[in-house]
Amino acid sequence: MKYEECLPHRLDKIIEECPFAIIPWGAHEWHGPHNALGLDTLKAYYMALDLCDEVGGVVLPPVYCGYQTMKPWRGFRLTLEFTRETVYSLLLQHLEQLYDEGFVLMLVLMGHYGNKHVETIQEATQRFNDCHNKARAVAWQDYLPAGWVNVRGGDHAGKNETSLLMHYRPDLVDLSQLPADGEIAPEIYGISGDDPREATAEHGKMLAELFVEQAAPKIREMLAEVMELRDNSQGQL
Ligand SMILES: [Zn+2]
C-alpha cells in the first residue's frame, strides 16, 4: 500500500493492525551509461513494495536525497549531491512524523550505499531510537537481507544492480550503451562489481525474491515486539 494513495480510514486501519512504514531512500546518481539515473531509489522502492505486499504496512514515496555520491568522488555527471545535514534532518523528521501518526516500526531501505551516506542514515535512525522506547527504526541497505544467507549484492551499476533494474523496469536499462567487449574501466564508466554485461532479469528476480524471503520474518518479529510495547502502554493509565 502506498502512503500517498491511502484514504484516511484505510491508513487508520493500517496503523491499528500493522503500524509498519517503509521509507525507500536513494539518490539521483550516475550508474554507468546503461542505467537510469534513479536506479538506487527505484530498486529500493520496488523492493519495498514487494516487502509491503508480503508483511503489510505502508510504503512512503521514495526519497531521492543522496550524500557521498559519485559526483564529489570523481565528478560523475547528472548526479545530485546533498549534504550530510540535509539527509540526517530529512530522515529524522520523517521518522518523528511517522511516529507521531502512530507508526511504531520504520524501515529505511537504502538503495544508495556511499559509506558516509549509510553512516548518516544510521545515525539519524539511532537518534530516533535513543529518543523513543515504544517504537523502533531500522536502516538496511537493500542487499543486506540476502547477505544473511551469504548471497552477495551491493555493487555499483554492476551485474547485481543492473539485474534488479532489468527485473523491475527493463525499459530503464540499455546494455547496448556499454562496449560490446573488452574492459570496462571503472574510472571512465563509473561501474564497480561484477560485469554488468552479465546482468539478466532472472538474476534480478532471484535477488528481489531473496530479499523478501529473508526480510519478511525479521520484520514480523520486530513488529510483534514493538506492537506489544504499544498495546501494553495503551492499557496503562
Ligand atoms: Zn547504486
C-alpha 153/C-alpha 150 separation (Å) is 9
Report which of residues 205 and 233 the model is more confident about.
Answer: 205
Distance 229 CA to ligand 1 centre (A): 36
Distance 74 CA to ligand 1 centre (A): 15
- State which fold the 3-152+212-235 domain adopts: Rossmann fold (3.40.50)
- State the pLDDT at residue 207: 98
The answer to whether 162 and 195 are in contact (CB under 8 A) is no
C-alpha 125/C-alpha 94 separation (Å) is 10
Q: Among candidates 20, 23, 217, which has minimal Cα distance to 105? A: 20
The answer to whether 136 and 123 are in contact (CB under 8 A) is no
Distance 133 CA to ligand 1 centre (A): 33
Split at pLDDT 50, 70, 90, the class of 236 is low
Q: Residue 237 above 60 pLDDT?
A: no
Distance 159 CA to ligand 1 centre (A): 11
Instruction: Please state the rounded mean pLDDT for residues 102-121.
Output: 98
Distance 135 CA to ligand 1 centre (A): 30
C-alpha cell belonging to residue 33: 551509461
> In the block, which residue shows the cell 502512530?
102
- State the pLDDT at residue 73: 85
Distance 130 CA to ligand 1 centre (A): 30
Q: State how far the alpha carbon of 147 is from the alpha carbons of 21, 142, 150, 199, 218, in Å.
A: 22, 10, 5, 19, 14
Distance 237 CA to ligand 1 centre (A): 48
pTM given for the model: 0.97
Instruction: Please state the rounded mean pLDDT for residues 130-135.
Output: 96
Distance 221 CA to ligand 1 centre (A): 29
Distance 41 CA to ligand 1 centre (A): 8
| pLDDT, tens only, 39-95 | 999 999 999 999 999 999 999 999 999 999 999 988 999 999 999 999 999 999 999
Q: Counting every residue, how long is the chain?
A: 237
- State the pLDDT at residue 64: 98
- Angle of the 115-131 helix axis to the 84-100 helix axis, nearest 10: 30
* Domain ranges for the chain: 3-152+212-235
